[in-house]
């Protein structure tokens, strides 16, 4: 009778079912995974149980019943922790965590209220199966454990592997070349499951770690030939417009372009930036897209300084801070004797900035220790933007000119906290506190930048400076699409709308130039470096970069997003659909994309995948160590 109970009630089967159900609930209802057809629904339903059965069934190889139970207990606990970390991460970034990001845990200490705002009370339901398994594995150990022969153990393993292979076959049918075209982590999770995705990610991380070892200078020769064929020899009419001037760069945290010339509760959100749009000394780019990935602000810095793409996983600031680069501050120093500095009132190790800035060629980093930070002048992530700029002026005045300085703001950072006395406009009214509070913090940053302009004038630095203001990345994620559609007066936020919301403002203000205008050609953060070097009157023919000078017409005409999506002058491609960029109408849907004669997005995407691949080769292989950029 005892043996029958053992065979009829194995805990590893019950644990697989309970964990599979929980995982499916998270996939289906807590992650915002798009399902387009029945096959995708079926695969999403199957893969949680395939993964959990494969792992829990390993317990049968333990001879002692107590060891079996211990394995199942801790497997359910560790699996739940992995699920929950991904869930919290997804709520913030609408993405899944990668192995390189696990090495960025030093950042977690600075996240504070950001993490707590992502935790929900109903999350407690996710530990119900863990409690059940721990109870049964303790109180019912002898009736829930198994004593299989070697033959049955092998059969159990074979069954779990067959289920896994079946899952992969279905995934390959649904998404051909899934692993070779893995730009989209959602596709991987949707088709093979979160845990198999993490195993794949680990294998991929191991592979890229070896790329530097086996890299050689022949790779760089091929890339340079490609880049030279893509770069225009045309010189902008504005070449040297800001020659010899100080370069002041403001990286505006989470500032999206939809707030420019827009209102909330009847009041302007960004009155000062709106005034710059009409300013005769300002170039405003209204179709300028951020291209950051998991590195967020650090990715936007990487793009602007190097004109290289960010990595598809993790942040180059962390994983490749020891590489050789040919970055903007280094070029300005070598070509025009510029000093350089970064101002950011945050922990110097956040995003590994203290190490990466050295590799980029910066002379000085003014971190949190350079500022007087108190409870009164700080909130959220640290020093408020107004005192941040106020306290920075004295350092600017002491610097030798010409200088290149970068300011990274903090106040307009999720979860967008602001004291009542600092609010000039009231929050929006929607179902999203994040979007509601976003508008007052954007307005605060706008006022801080306006005051900074006045402070530069008072310090005698304004006239001899060029001032660049750039949004670093999105502020409102897809998780708030319902509220965003309400604000924008749309029925819903479509994939096309989502890409358009990745536009961030770019202002290039050249006092006294009188040449300012609104420029509507598509552009991206990768174009910053060549554009600024041209304005500063610096030629750098031997450089290798993927951006274009924004002030010439002979450009490649597309902006590549890190996940393989793109925006061109005529088309927008995302989630397997080719759209007309101007109207948003579908030209070719995902079911017809393999028909090249009818797909105008196809040839552009091929160029983009090649360009992203070349940029990755440079970073992963540290190929600039073979380059001689000096002439």
Q: Whole-angstrom Cα distance, residue 212 to residue 617?
A: 9
Pairing mode, strands 517-519 and 282-285? parallel
Token pair, residue 347, equals 């922990």
Q: What separation, in Å, do the N-terminal and C-terminal C-alpha atoms of the chain show?
A: 86
Length of the chain measured in residues: 631
Q: How many CA atoms lie within 13 A of 143 on its CB side?
A: 8
529-532-534-539 Cα dihedral, nearest 10 degrees: -50
DSSP string, 575-593: TTEEEETTT--EEE-GGGT
Q: Which residues contact 89 (CB under 8 A, 6 or more apart)?
A: 95, 96, 97
Angle of the 481-488 helix axis to the 433-458 helix axis, nearest 10: 70
Residues 302, 458 contacting (CB under 8 angstroms)? no
Count the neighbouring beta carbons within 10 Å of the beta carbon of residue 222.
Answer: 11
297 among known catalytic residues: yes
Peptide bond into 402 cis (omega under 30): yes
DSSP E strand stretches across 261-311: 263-264, 267-268, 282-285, 288-289
- Could you say which DSSP state residue 625 is in? G
In b/e form, how buried is each residue of 163-193, taking b as 16+ CB within 10 angstroms? bbeebbebbeebbeebeeebebbbbbbbbbb
Alpha helices per DSSP H over 103-193: 113-116, 128-139, 141-144, 150-174, 185-192
Residue among 80, 297, 409, 531 flagged as catalytic: 297
Residues 487, 442 contacting (CB under 8 angstroms)? no
The CA angle 59-63-64, to the nearest 5 degrees, is 95
Residues 46, 106 contacting (CB under 8 angstroms)? no
Helix, strand or coil, per DSSP, at residue 595: coil
Q: Which residues contact 95 (CB under 8 A, 6 or more apart)?
A: 89, 185, 186, 294
Residues annotated catalytic, as ranges: 297
């Amino acid at each position: 009778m005892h043996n029958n109970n053992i065979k009829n009630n194995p805990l590893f089967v019950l644990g697989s079912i309970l964990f599979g159900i929980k995982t499916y609930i998270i996939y289906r209802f807590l992650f915002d995974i798009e399902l387009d057809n029945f096959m995708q629904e079926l695969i999403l339903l199957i893969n949680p149980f395939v993964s959990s059965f494969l792992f829990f069934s390993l317990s049968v190889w333990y001879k002692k019943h107590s060891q079996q139970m211990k394995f199942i207990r801790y497997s359910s606990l560790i699996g739940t922790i992995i699920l929950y970390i991904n869930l919290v991460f997804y709520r913030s970034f609408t993405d899944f965590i990668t192995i390189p990001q696990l090495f960025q845990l030093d950042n977690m200490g600075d996240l504070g209220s950001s993490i707590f705002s992502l935790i929900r009370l109903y999350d407690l339901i996710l530990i119900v199966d863990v409690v059940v398994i721990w109870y049964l594995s303790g109180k019912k150990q002898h009736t829930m454990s198994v004593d299989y022969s070697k033959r049955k153990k092998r059969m159990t393993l074979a069954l779990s592997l067959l289920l896994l292979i079946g899952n992969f076959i279905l995934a390959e049918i649904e998404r051909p070349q899934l692993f070779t075209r893995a730009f989209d982590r959602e596709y991987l999770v949707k088709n093979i499951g979160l845990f198999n995705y993490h195993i794949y990610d680990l294998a991929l991380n191991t592979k890229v770690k070896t790329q530097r070892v086996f890299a050689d200078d022949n790779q760089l020769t091929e890339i340079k030939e490609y880049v030279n064929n893509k770069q225009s020899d045309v010189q902008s009419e504005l070449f040297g417009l800001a020659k010899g001037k100080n370069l002041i760069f403001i990286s505006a945290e989470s500032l999206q372009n939809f707030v420019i010339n827009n209102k909330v509760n009847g009041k302007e959100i960004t009155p000062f930036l709106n005034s710059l749009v009409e300013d005769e000394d300002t170039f405003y780019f209204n179709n300028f897209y951020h291209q950051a990935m998991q590195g967020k602000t650090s990715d936007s810095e990487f793009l602007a300084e190097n004109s290289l793409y960010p990595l598809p996983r993790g942040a180059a600031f962390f994983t490749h801070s020891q590489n050789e680069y040919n970055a903007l501050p280094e070029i300005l120093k070598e070509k025009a004797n510029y000093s350089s500095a970064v101002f950011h009132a945050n922990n110097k190790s956040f995003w590994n900035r203290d190490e990466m800035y050295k590799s980029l060629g910066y002379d000085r980093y003014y971190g949190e220790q350079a500022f007087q930070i108190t409870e009164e002048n700080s909130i959220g992530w640290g020093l408020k933007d107004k005192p941040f700029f106020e306290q920075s002026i004295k350092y600017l005045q002491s610097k030798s000119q010409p200088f290149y300085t970068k300011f990274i703001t903090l106040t307009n950072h999720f979860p967008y906290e602001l004291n009542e006395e600092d609010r000039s406009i009231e929050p929006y009214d929607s179902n999203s506190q994040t979007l509601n509070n976003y508008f007052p913090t954007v307005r605060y940053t706008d006022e801080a930048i306006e005051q900074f302009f006045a402070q530069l004038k008072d310090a005698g630095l304004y006239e001899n400076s060029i001032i660049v203001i750039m949004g670093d990345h999105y502020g409102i994620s897809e998780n708030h699409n319902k509220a965003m559609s309400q604000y924008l007066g749309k029925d819903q936020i479509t994939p096309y709308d989502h890409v358009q919301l990745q536009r961030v403002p770019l202002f290039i203000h050249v006092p006294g130039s009188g040449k300012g205008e609104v420029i509507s050609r598509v552009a991206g953060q990768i174009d910053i470096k060549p554009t600024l070097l041209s304005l500063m009157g610096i030629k750098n023919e031997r450089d290798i970069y993927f951006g274009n000078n924004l002030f010439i017409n002979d450009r490649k005409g597309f902006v590549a997003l890190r996940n393989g999506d793109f925006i061109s002058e005529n088309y927008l491609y995302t989630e397997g659909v080719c759209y007309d960029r101007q109207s948003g109408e579908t030209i070719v849907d995902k079911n017809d994309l393999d028909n090249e004669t009818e797909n105008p997005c196809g040839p552009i995407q091929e160029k983009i995948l090649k360009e992203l691949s070349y940029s990755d080769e440079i970073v992963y292989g540290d190929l600039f160590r073979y380059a001689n950029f000096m002439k």
